[in-house]
């Protein structure tokens, strides 16, 4: 749920109005937000009959604005309208659907900096990353426009005379998208842009703690559909908690559910969807490693590790959590890394020069403290950081911990800027350590030797879905398929041929002759 104040509702409401009146919050009016907001876009209109919650600024833990969340009745009303709208949308030619997505991209461009600022304010990532997240959706719109003219099937040679075999791709219907707080709108873009050009309607449940981003994004998208006289229910959105997420997972009207979150919750979503024979796209936990070989460019590696481990306050699924250093460069890399960590500015994510904003919630900060204690109890040695920053916000120190690769705690994902450093002797050992954790999202190696590079990206190399060389584990481009293996869930979103997961493939055999030859030469009377 969103962070709820423990004070009286009247006090919170008044405080939210006072907060919203702040000069630094004036930009929120430019993206359609007020001190009180309806959190459901249903059948082309705004409503919200569920609990009233406060969106909270993680930099000071004070309310920004109030949101009325969805009730189950809101959900049912929205889904009924969405199902009807889908019948219209899927019959529009794909290039025409691409034109609508192009207009969505243009509409987002006009509000890029306002939306990016909101991401930074409500989620806590620094402003450059907030703007970059919105830009990622714009890039996905551009990608999807081109894709709308390339949803190609195949013509397959038939073994039978006067027969033709084809592959046809058709829309699934409704795609459910459940997103997480750390990328409160980019993951929507990965899914919605592709789903829409493929002819699907979209039902979005945004993260409970970032409802303002959900509302602001939806208002822009809804404006495009309205301008084109299309049913608003083609894009339906709900602010809400687990109840709405569970409703989507159980709903047979939603043939595909994309879920981003923890491996634990993702497994429950998958089991629920599988019970009704639906399909899942899972983007779950990561436990990503960077390997630094003895021939690596040390400065390049250090800069990459800094961004990968400290960016978004360690709250990316692609954050580097394990740093594997060859014994010959171990001390050199560690010393250099400690030097740059000491220069990291921790503070208000909207201020220029800040590299490390707050963790998203007070619970996140508590988990950081517990995680550090657990690391120490399993032999971890704090090299740098390790403490919280005393303030009204959820700030912690960027932390480096020396620890054995065999420690059980290393196999867990601590969603904070905590880097586990360990030593290795051979490439074989480094790859084994990389692959030894349950998760399999992202990985990277720093080396200049071709034989190591091709071993790393080959069948006996990294077992992750993202296998990089001489770049960080995070900051993926949209042109490639994004996702991971094992406990990361196996889903692929964004680029490459990920679009195929949003469509239904039919193999069609057409007999245009007057005979009935059977396959495999069967003679049936």
d(CA 218, CA 67): 14
Is residue 356 within 8 A of residue 417, CB to CB? The reply is yes
d(CA 52, CA 8): 12
Residue 340, H or E segment: helix 330-341
Could you tell me which of 239, 327, 253, 221 has the C-alpha nearest to residue 82? 253
Q: State the helix-helix crossing angle for 211-227 and 94-110, rounded to 10 degrees.
A: 130
Q: Enter the tokens of residue 33.
A: 């937000």
Q: Enter the tokens of residue 217.
A: 């994004």
Task: Give the residue carrying structure tokens 């481009």.
Answer: 477
- CA dihedral sign, ordered 121, 123, 128, 132: negative
For 263, residues 6+ apart whose C-beta sits below 8 A from its C-beta are 284, 285, 413, 438, 439, 487, 488, 489
Identified catalytic residue from 66, 129, 133, 283: 283
d(CA 94, CA 91): 9
Per residue, what are the HEC states of 200-243? CEEEEECCCCCHHHHHHHHHHHHHHHHHCCCCHHHEEEECCCHH
d(CA 441, CA 39): 32
Q: Enter the tokens of residue 240.
A: 């809400």
Instruction: For residue 123, give the 3-state DSSP assignment.
Output: helix
Residue 147, H or E segment: helix 127-147
Q: State the helix-helix crossing angle for 94-110 and 127-147, rounded to 10 degrees.
A: 160
Does residue 30 have an active-site annotation?
A: no
Is residue 238 within 8 A of residue 203, CB to CB? The reply is yes
Residues acting as catalytic residues = 283
């Amino acid at each position: 749920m969103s962070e709820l104040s423990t004070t009286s509702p009247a006090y919170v409401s008044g405080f939210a109005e006072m907060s919203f009146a702040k000069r630094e919050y004036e930009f929120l009016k430019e993206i359609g937000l007020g001190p009180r907001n309806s959190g459901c876009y249903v059948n082309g209109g705004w409503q919200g009959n569920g609990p009233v919650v406060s969106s909270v600024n993680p930099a000071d833990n004070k309310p920004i604005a109030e949101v009325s969340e969805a009730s189950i009745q809101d959900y049912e009303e929205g889904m009924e309208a969405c199902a009807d709208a889908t019948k219209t949308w899927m019959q529009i030619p794909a290039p025409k659907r691409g034109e609508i997505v192009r207009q969505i991209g243009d509409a987002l461009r006009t509000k890029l900096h306002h939306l990016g600022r909101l991401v930074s304010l409500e989620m806590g990532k620094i402003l450059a990353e907030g703007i970059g997240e919105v830009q990622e959706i714009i890039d996905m719109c551009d990608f999807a426009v081109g894709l709308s003219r390339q949803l190609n099937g195949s013509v397959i040679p038939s073994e039978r005379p006067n027969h033709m075999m084809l592959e046809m791709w058709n829309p699934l219907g409704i795609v459910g998208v459940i997103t997480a707080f750390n990328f409160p709108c980019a993951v929507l873009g990965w899914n919605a842009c592709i789903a829409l050009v493929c002819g699907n309607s979209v039902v979005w449940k945004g993260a409970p703690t970032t409802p303002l981003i959900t509302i602001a994004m939806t208002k822009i998208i809804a404006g495009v559909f309205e301008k084109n006289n299309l049913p608003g229910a083609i894009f339906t959105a709900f602010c809400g908690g687990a109840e709405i997420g569970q409703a989507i997972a159980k709903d047979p009207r939603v043939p595909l559910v994309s879920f981003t979150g923890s491996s634990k919750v993702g497994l429950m979503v998958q089991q629920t969807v599988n019970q009704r024979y639906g399909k899942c796209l899972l983007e779950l936990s990561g436990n990503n490693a960077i390997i630094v070989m003895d021939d690596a460019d040390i400065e390049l590696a250090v800069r990459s590790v800094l961004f990968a481990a400290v960016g978004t306050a360690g709250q990316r699924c692609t954050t580097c959590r394990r740093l594997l250093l060859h014994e010959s460069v171990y001390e050199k890399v560690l010393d250099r890394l400690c030097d740059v960590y000491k220069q990291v500015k921790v503070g208000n994510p909207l201020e220029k020069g800040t590299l490390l904003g707050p963790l998203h919630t007070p619970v996140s900060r508590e988990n950081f403290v517990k995680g550090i204690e657990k690391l120490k109890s399993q032999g971890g040695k704090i090299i740098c950081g390790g403490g919280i920053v005393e303030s009204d916000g959820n700030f912690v120190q960027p932390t480096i911990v020396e620890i054995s690769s065999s420690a059980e705690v290393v196999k867990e994902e601590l969603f904070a800027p905590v880097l586990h450093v360990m030593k290795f002797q051979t490439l074989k050992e480094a790859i084994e350590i990389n692959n030894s954790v349950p998760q399999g999202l992202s990985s990277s190696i720093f080396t200049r030797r071709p034989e190591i590079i091709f071993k790393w990206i080959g069948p006996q190399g990294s077992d992750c879905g993202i296998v990089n060389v001489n770049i960080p584990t995070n900051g993926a481009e949209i042109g490639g398929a994004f996702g991971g293996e094992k406990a990361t869930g196996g889903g692929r979103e964004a680029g490459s041929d990920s679009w195929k997961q949003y469509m239904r493939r039919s193999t069609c055999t057409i007999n245009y002759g007057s005979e009935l030859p059977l396959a495999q030469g069967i003679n049936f009377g």
